[in-house]
Structure 1
Amino acid sequence: MDSANFFRFPIEEWPFVLLSLAIGLSVHEFAHAYTAWKFGDPTAKDRGRVTLNPMAHLDIFGTILIFIAGFGWAKPVPVNRSYFKKPRMMSIFVSLAGPVSNLLIVFIGLFLFYLLDYLGAIENLSTGSITALVTFFKYLISLNITLFLFNLIPLPPLDGYRIIEDLAPQPIRAKMSQYEHWGAFIFLLLVFIPPLSRVTIVPLFSLSDHILLLFGNIIGSIFGM
């Protein structure tokens, strides 16, 4: 098999992919850990997870899988909800913190790119520098919007599932817990069986275009574009 076809991204663009992933995954897990800590749970902080250091968050296999399949994971942040004054409500905020942080990176990335263009900084760069800059922002924005949407999938152990679990009444929560172990298997079916992915994963990720359009319009109006 041709290695160029085996991997999800062109090999020459791996440094930009890795840097974007390091930023996105680290900020995502930091957001979970920091929010839990501020709500009174010291578990993640005691384990060194309230940090933006990628080495504390990246999972080797999960990162490699992103290069191969386009999706993966970081080390999960340990959360002990018994420390929370309002466990269900605060757990929802902790779960939301990760995806929202990725959405914030998308907005900041777009804003910085528009700002550089507005200031005329890009046109003064060499061709190679422009290519590198555009490639970096392309992956920073696209991978973080993927992380945002991916983590909203309502399957364990993703954030979307935890949010629904905390919103559900207790009888439904008990039923959900009985089937949690099927989460990874169901997810793989949705990803790798085209008829299923076309009615589940594909519609979800098509939202990325609408999000980018919305952010683009907001930022464009700021700079009068």
Structure 2
Amino acid sequence: MSTTTPRHDERRVSPVFLAILAVMAVTGWAVWTDFAASPAIAVFLFVTSAWIVSLCLHEYAHARTALHGGDITVGARGYLTLNPLAYTHAWLSIVIPVLFLMLGGIGLPGGAVFIDRGRVHGRWKHSLISAAGPLTNVLFAVVCTAPFWLHALDGVPRPFQYALAFLAFLQVTASLLNLLPVPGLDGYGVIEPWLSYGIKRRVEPYAPYGFFIIVALLFVPPLHSAFFGTINTLLQTLGVPELSRVCGSALYRFWEPAPEFCRV
């Protein structure tokens, strides 16, 4: 067996991920066909499972790029199986982003798979490993918004349109947040290889707190308005009406009464 490639069992897709994917498919079908007794609950399950799938793909992209960059240990750690339970910090990678989604409807980036950076040589490779995750969210956002900017919504049920709009909002939010050049986020990982040793030494003590600083700053009203105003502008540029996104968020929070104009 080669020591430079993962074994077959290290690349086998996890049953945990397949189960989450199945929930996404079944609940997506339920939203589309109006099969569920409560469309809002179906939207909740569809968006949550799709969000977890995107988080798994985000971490997989980091690991797969690291594998090609020289870190052959990612297979042994289970990162190539798409199993969210294998992540170094499953709490940060899955639980916290899902909790913020449920409590505030915010698409927070997760962390983290452990990459053995000592095995990766070349600044470009290090930057690509960091960029791979948020670029996956960007691709997910393109897929979610495609029916809107392609004007292909004829016959698409309104609850499904609303769910796609809200899911697109989450992906765009996660993409922009994660690409911020803040220590601890992927955006900083992209530029870190190009910084001087002195700068990296000064920044290093703050890296564990970057994620939490960003979360705190989102609660500052001017910054909150500016950031989410930018998100809404991007979504409208991609053809996603604000009303669809608002109704998607309202349906997702099935435990709260939806506005009259969102009821289906």
Indicate whether the TM-score tops 0.5: yes
Q: CA deviation at 1:189?
A: 3.4
Question: Which residue of 79, 96, 119 corresponds with 2:115?
Answer: 79
Q: How far apart, in 2, do the equivalents of 1:189 and 1:75 lie?
A: 17
Q: How far apart, in 1, do the equivalents of 2:74 and 2:237 lie?
A: 31
1:29 to 2:92 alignment: no
- Does the CA contact (< 8 Å) of 1:49 and 1:77 recur in 2? yes
- Does the CA contact (< 8 Å) of 2:69 and 2:120 recur in 1? yes
List alignment gaps of at least 5 residues for structure 2.
1-39, 88-92, 240-264
Q: Taking structure 1 as reference, are residues 12 and 109 closer, same or farther at Cα in structure 2, changes over 3 Å only?
A: closer
- Does the CA contact (< 8 Å) of 1:33 and 1:50 recur in 2? yes
Q: Secondary structure at 2:115's aligned position in 1?
A: coil
Q: How far apart, in 1, do the equivalents of 2:149 and 2:181 lie?
A: 33
Q: Secondary structure at 2:81's aligned position in 1?
A: coil
List alignment gaps of at least 5 residues for structure 1.
1-9, 214-225
Identity %: 29
Residue identity in the other structure for 2:47: V
Aligned to 1:221: none
Q: Taking structure 1 as reference, are residues 211 and 43 closer, same or farther at Cα in structure 2, changes over 3 Å only?
A: farther
Aligned to 1:136: 163
Q: How far apart, in 1, do the equivalents of 2:236 and 2:161 lie?
A: 21
State the Cα RMSD in Å: 3.0
Deviations 1:26-67 (A, max 9, x none): 221111111111111123222111234555565223321221
Q: How far apart, in 2, do the equivalents of 1:175 and 1:166 lie?
A: 14
Q: CA deviation at 1:102?
A: 1.2
Deviations 1:180-211 (A, max 9, x none): 34424532331112134445x34653563376
Q: CA deviation at 1:105?
A: 1.6
Q: CA deviation at 1:95?
A: 0.7
- Does the CA contact (< 8 Å) of 1:154 and 1:160 recur in 2? yes
Residue identity in the other structure for 1:212: L
Q: How far apart, in 2, do the equivalents of 1:114 and 1:205 lie?
A: 16
Aligned to 2:176: 149
Q: Taking structure 1 as reference, are residues 17 and 56 closer, same or farther at Cα in structure 2, changes over 3 Å only?
A: farther
